[in-house]
A and B are shown apart, each in its own frame.
Chain A
Amino acid sequence: MRVHRVGSLTRLAPMRRAPVRTCNPRPRQRRRGTSTSPPFHSSVDAEQLRRFDAYSGSWWSAGGPASLLARMNPCRVSFIRRCIERYGIRPSSATTPLDTPLAGVRVLDVGCGGGLVSEPLARLGAQVTGLDASAEAIAVARARQEQLRQLVANAEGAEVSVSATVRRQLQPLQYRVGTLESYLEGDSMASSADRAPAPTPPAPVDVLTALEIVEHVTAPRAFLQNAARALRPGGLLILSTIDRSAAAYVGGILVAEYVLGVVPRGTHDWRRFIQPEEMCEALLSLHCAETDAEDASGTAPSAPRMEVLEMAGLVPDWRTGAFRLSANTSVNYILAARRVNDFD
């Protein structure tokens, strides 16, 4: 499998982009209609949220709007697993039991939807928290857990008779309604309508996945900063999204939404797509920028420094409909970045 190593690309990127705005805060994008957004500051776009709420019935149905994601899934999960193994993310305390490739790895799956990625990662042994702003999506994901729990409830007496992949899918996998921001505040959208007093910040995670999600947030930069904060030093950020290229416009919007109809119309706004170079540049300069938060309290602690490790394209195989990793990042791409150790 060819994987595009990103080193040179990221060094080139700022030179190719006209204004090098490395250490300047990005001008805030104010969107209209924020009155419907959640009561706290959020990178989630309310309009998009309504749209995802509406899909939720079909997260797991073959041929539904998420079927394209399902076809991307095996290679997205393989990429994640490989990065976790390659960059030594597994805690060394875990005595590499044969039966759990991702044992002991704490994963936060931001924008987990119906659990398309959370479930496979949990089956591989990771301790996954699935987070989504759409209460409906979380309800779907939890319902699947509940169904499985019901199925094996009676067999629980005899522990050995339930496959470990089932137990792993049930026990360490949790779902929460909320945005990345509310998660960091230690708070859940479902539990508090207003600002909860004295929330406890969550423990940092080993891996944060944000798959097909940045193209839906209003302030991608703030989102990335928060993602970096949620990671432990040395932790991995796995991000996948769509390039702002002509190919993505034709393939990702015209063909997928209008010709084939495999993605519901209006899911994507081309202007929000982010080019791989922009993404790398943004990640590499995260620590220089101030947060977008307009907190009266002034400057928030600066974001952690990130380094980009590798990037690959996801391309569909027209014969089988399944996606595979490739060097072509011009439509869908996935990348791994690492939070640099504080002492480095």
Chain B
Amino acid sequence: MSRITRAVDVAIVGGGLVGMAVAAGLADAARAVGATVALVDASAWPPAEGGRRESVRDQAEEAYRPESVRTSSITPAARDFLNSDAVDVWRRVPIERRTPFRTMKVYGRRRHPVMRFEGRDRVWSDEDDPPLGWIVENTSLLQAMRERLLTSTDDERAGVQRLVGQVQQLDWDASTGWPLLHIARDASTPAARVERVAARLVVAADGGRSSVRRLADLSWYTQPYHQEAVVAVVHTRQPHDTAWQRFLSTGPLAVLPMGGRGQCSNIVWSTTPDEAHWLVQEASEAAFLHEVNRALHAEDAERLQVEAPAPPSSDWPEATELVAPRTPPTRAHFPLHLGHAPRYYRNHVVLVGDAAHVVHPLAGQGVNLGLADAESLCRRVTAAWHSGRDVGEEALLAAYQTERLPQNALMLASLHGIRSWFAWRLAEDTPLAQAADAVRSLGMQAATHWTPLRRLFVQMATGGK
């Protein structure tokens, strides 16, 4: 048996949005019962910047500038979790970095019909004029989470311990069955400097390519989408508070309001790897904007047109300028794939967030599913701590899986279905293709005008809150 350097109650691997949310959600409960949580992440936190926030605020008055091109759309359900007393992160996100949207407009290959979903469709909500969601900058949300954890780690006795390094190896103590994490900066770190952390429970929040999942021998189903997501921030001709999405046969293109009042927009465009490469690496700024506007406004997006058509009316978004965020790059692309673990736990190791499921970004659900995982797990671990229970107990993890797996699988399948529905394309202009278009249009009209169906969509898209 190897010597350990630490024994903790919960070790969270991965300091992404989901891992940090788990840490924030457990911090107070851990302190209340004297339990210890370790948070392992490859990158060190940037040094705390005193005074910087003030200057950010001052600048915000003059000109808003995004932190980076990465944003997440946060559903009301996820917002409630981030805003809960235990997690207490939401209020720390500067207001100009979480932009509400009250309308969602979705259309397909043809410019008509446009499906329209409103905050009003959240009939179960008790807010007046409830938003459908918020577009939140990933960097700001992470920063808010770090701030939250810093306020709770000043107590030496308990709380969240931060460990910088990567998980190199995972094994289990033969007699107690506790997992042992070997953490080092890289594989060449001398053995004496490797941290060996024994934990009652290991939470794998290390993303879609989770190494903990592989080390714990949990299986993974994956399928590439042969698509890449292009992300950038643009200025639009007019501020807006609508999340726009057009489904092209090469993939969906979203225009999401940012900057607090929608003075900027986040472009998330899933398309073929070739086009993505061209858009990010080769296209000039003007060519990029032209391409975005053409893809948004063309009457029939499948027909090649050289000229960008004018937007049908002034409330449609029109990209006018690329915005350089504080942290480069200005444009980025990410390969997309679908992934799911058929089982979320094994031998005191449990999967959360992208380590358990990777979905298509088309409805902006990735982080939200992960935050719902975090909520469920935090609730169960907290209850277990208060009754002195061992948090690595299989029954606890089984209950977590029973709650989360069906919901995640349903969302995964629905997003896959929606993508296929819009990507469904037959040979040009054959009667069959026209019939397919007609069916698609009918489906979209139903989703807009048939209230129960529309509410069902909204309920799914907002996490039922």
Query: Is A152 touching B388 in the complex (CB atoms < 8 A)?
Result: no
Nearest-neighbour CB distance to chain B for A166, whole angstroms, equals: 5
Q: Which of A33-41, A153-161, A266-274 contacts B (4 or more CB under 8 A)?
A: A153-161
**Residue B394 contacts which of A62, A100, A144 (CB distance < 8 angstroms)?**
A62
**Contact with A163, one of B8, B173, B175 (Cβ below 8 angstroms):** B8
Given contacts A124-B388, A164-B34, contact A155 B4 (CB under 8 A): yes
Nearest chain A CB to B396's CB is how many angstroms away?
9
CA distance A125 to B34 in the complex (A): 9
A155: chain B residues at CB < 8 Å are: 3-7, 198
Please give, as numbers and ranges, the residues of chain A lying within 8 Å of B86 by CB-CB distance. Answer: none
Give the distance to chain A from B39, nearest Cβ to Cβ, in Å.
Answer: 14
Question: Does B34 lie within 8 Å of A152, measured CB to CB?
Answer: no
Which residues of A sit under 8 angstroms from B33, Cβ to Cβ?
Answer: 99-101, 123-124, 165
Contact between A78 and B386, CB atoms less than 8 A apart: yes
* Contact present for A151 and B178 (CB under 8 Å): yes
Instruction: Answer yes or no: A147 CB below 8 A from chain B CBs.
Output: yes
What's the interface size class on B, roughly? 20 to 34
Q: How far is the CB of B37 from chain A (nearest CB, A)?
A: 9
Q: Give 15 pairs: A residue, B residue, CB < 8 Å, sorted on A.
A: A75-B387, A99-B157, A120-B388, A122-B388, A124-B33, A124-B388, A151-B198, A152-B7, A161-B5, A161-B7, A162-B7, A163-B9, A164-B34, A164-B36, A165-B34
Beta-carbon contacts of A72-85 to B below 8 Å, as 1s and 0s? Answer: 01110110010000
Is A224 interfacial (CB 8 A cutoff)?
no
Taking the closest CB of chain A, its distance from the CB of B5, in whole angstroms, is 6
The answer for the CA separation of A266 and B402 in the assembled complex, in Å, is 33
Residues of B within 8 A of A (CB): 1, 3-9, 31-36, 156-158, 173, 175-176, 178, 198, 383-384, 386-390, 394-395, 399, 402
Asked whether, in the complex, the Cβ of A150 is within 8 Å of the Cβ of B387, the reply is no
Complex formed: what's the CA distance from A73 to B387 in Å?
Answer: 9
| Residues in chain B near residue A165, CB distance under 8 A | 9, 33-36
Beyond A70-B395, A147-B176, A322-B395, whether A164 also contacts B6 by CB under 8 A is no
Q: Are A77 and B32 in contact (CB under 8 A)?
A: no
From A99, which residue of chain B is reached at the shortest CB distance?
B34
Determine the residue in chain B with the shortest Cβ distance to A76.
B387
Closest A-B pairs by Cβ, 3 of them: A120-B388, A99-B34, A164-B34
In the complex, which of the residues B5, B31, B387 contacts A74, with contact meaning CB atoms closer than 8 Å? B387
Closest to A63 in B: B394
Known contacts A74-B383, A148-B176; is A121 also within 8 Å of B34 by CB?
A: no
Chain B residues whose C-beta falls within 8 Å of the C-beta of A101 in the assembled complex: 32-33, 386
CB distance from A188 to the nearest CB of B (A): 26
Question: Which partner residue on chain B sits nearest A154 by CB separation?
Answer: B3
Please tell me if the beta carbons of B389 and A98 are within 8 angstroms of each other in the complex: no
Q: Is A191 an interface residue (CB 8 A)?
A: no
* CB pair A151 B399 closer than 8 Å: no
A181 beta carbon closer than 8 Å to chain B: no
Alpha-carbon gap, A166 to B178, bound state (A): 12
A163 and B31 CA atoms in complex are apart in Å by: 11
* Contact between A163 and B395, CB atoms less than 8 A apart: no
Kindly identify, within residues 127 to 158 of chain A, every residue whose CB is under 8 Å from any CB belonging to chain B. 144, 147-148, 150-152, 154-155, 158
Q: Across the interface, do B5 and A163 meet the contact criterion of CB distance under 8 Å?
A: no
Which residues in A have their C-beta under 8 angstroms from that of B399? 320, 322
Is residue A215 contacting chain B, with contact meaning CB distance below 8 A?
A: no
A71 at the interface (CB under 8 A from B): yes
Cα A320 to Cα B396 in complex, Å, equals 11
CA distance A81 to B383 in the complex (A): 13
Q: B192 CB to closest chain A CB, in angstroms? A: 13
Given contact pairs A119-B388, A124-B388, A151-B175, A162 touches B6 in the complex (Cβ within 8 A): yes
Once bound together, how far apart are the Cα atoms of A41 and B431, in whole Å? Answer: 95
Closest to B9 in A: A163
> What residues of chain A lie closer than 8 Å to B35, measured between beta carbons?
163-165
Q: Which residue of A lies closest to B175 (CB)?
A: A147
A151 touches B9 (CB 8 A): no
A168 at the interface (CB under 8 A from B): yes
Identify which of B34, B157, B176, B389 contacts A151 (C-beta below 8 A). Answer: B176
A77 vs B385: C-alpha distance in the bound complex, in angstroms? 11
What distance in Å separates the Cβ of B11 from its nearest Cβ neighbour in chain A? Answer: 11
> Contacts A121-B388, A147-B176, A151-B178; is A158 near B5 (CB within 8 Å)?
yes
Query: In whole angstroms, what is the CA distance A252 to B175 when docked?
Result: 33
B390: A residues at CB distance < 8 A = 119-120, 123
Most buried by B among A77, A124, A125, A165: A165
What's the Cα separation between A321 and B7 when bound, in Å? 31
Given contacts A81-B386, A160-B156, 18 further A-B contacts (CB under 8 A): A74-B383, A74-B384, A74-B389, A81-B388, A98-B34, A99-B157, A100-B33, A101-B386, A119-B390, A122-B388, A150-B176, A151-B1, A151-B175, A151-B176, A151-B198, A155-B198, A164-B35, A165-B35
Contact A163 B36, beta carbon cutoff 8 Å: yes
- A166 vs B383: C-alpha distance when bound (angstroms): 18
A151 touches B173 (CB 8 A): yes
State whether A150 touches B34 (Cβ < 8 A).
Answer: no
Closest-by-CB residue of B relative to A117 is B388
The answer to whether B4 and A151 have CB atoms under 8 Å apart is: yes
For window 7-26 of chain A, which residues contact chain B by CB distance below 8 Å? Answer: none
